[in-house]
Amino acid sequence: MASDKETLLSMGFDPARVDWALRATNNRGLQPAMDHILENEGKPIPDPSAAAPTSASGSAAQPMDVDGDDEDEDALRRLVGTKTGASSAAAEEEAKSIKCSECGKVFKNTALANYHAEKSGHDQFEESTEEIKPLTEEEKQQKLTDLREKIAAKRGLKAQQEAKEALANETIRRKSGKDIGKLKDEMKAKELVKEAEQKRREKLEDAKAKAAVKAQIEADKKARAEKTAREKALRDGQPIVDAPASASSTPVATASSSSGTTGKDFKDTRLQIRMATGGTPYTTTLPSDATLREVAEFLAAQTLSVDVETVTFAQHFPRKTFSRDHFSKTLRELGLTPSAVLIAS
């Protein structure tokens, strides 16, 4: 049980005034000492050595009602004891956990509370005296099983998502592959068309070159023949003629002479060749001694639709059709000089 001095000190009184009150009341109890302190609250504290006789004499002269103050003293002690016990009990209470004010979950330490705050976004926490009991072995096994199930579920969901993504990627790849294949086919078809066109051009160029070579050969032959004829005429003392005049006796020459023009006077013949199927006409100038076959070769060099062995020619005015027998005759003999229009079919 606490003494009167300890009780007064716990109530917040000054230690010097407590000692003065106990000396003045000769330690007669808690209530007299408290009354003395309250009555002399503003007075200076006297020297203990000088106040001792006075206090002793005063205390001897004044009778004290000890029995009347016992009840008050017990009440004060109970009040002070209750306050002291409550403060000590509050002091003994310590925070044993951290509680989330928003969801009510209790956590054992700050690290777990911070993890919960990051996951949930909660930011209201308070200290709690609630103690978290350690898990039993069965609870630990149950929590471990639940955790494994959650991990397996997450892995399964992730696998499904990856499978969907892989399927989408495969679809895109196949579509792009088809597009690329179609593009390759189109490019290949264009290349084939280009190759065919190139071959056609080469064939036309070859035919033109062949026709030019043949025409040059024929021109060289005729030039040599004319030269030989001139030299022979000079040796024999005969007059020099440019071309034989035998063509004037043929029926074609007769037709030509009937028009008032002699074919032997023209060395070159200008021809316009039209296709029976229509289209742009072909114009050329050949020596008058060139054969109709050379005309066919010239036309075959210009277009692939014409074959030298099958083509035929006709003339509208005067109307005449040239057969294969006429291909060996010259343009002069056929009466096509100095110019003519032929229809090829």
Q: What are the pLDDT tens digits along the chain (345 aa)? A: 567 888 888 777 888 888 988 999 988 888 888 888 888 877 888 877 765 444 444 444 344 444 445 555 565 666 555 555 555 554 446 777 889 999 988 888 888 888 899 888 898 989 888 877 777 888 878 877 888 898 899 999 999 999 999 999 999 988 888 889 888 999 999 999 999 989 988 888 888 888 888 888 988 899 898 888 888 888 877 766 555 444 333 444 344 444 444 445 688 899 999 988 888 889 999 999 999 999 999 988 988 888 888 899 998 877 889 988 889 999 998 888 888 899 998
Interatomic CA distance for residues 33 and 59, integer angstroms: 13
pTM confidence score: 0.28
In this structure, the strands spanning 339-344 and 319-322 are unpaired
Opening angle at CA 94, ends 90 and 95, nearest 5: 130
CB atoms within 10 A of CB 190: 10
338 residue type, one letter = P
Structure tokens at 260: 């008032």
Structure tokens at 254: 């007769």
> 339 and 270 in contact (C-beta within 8 Å)?
yes
Structure tokens at 199: 């071959």
Phi and psi dihedrals of 233, rounded to 5? -65, -40
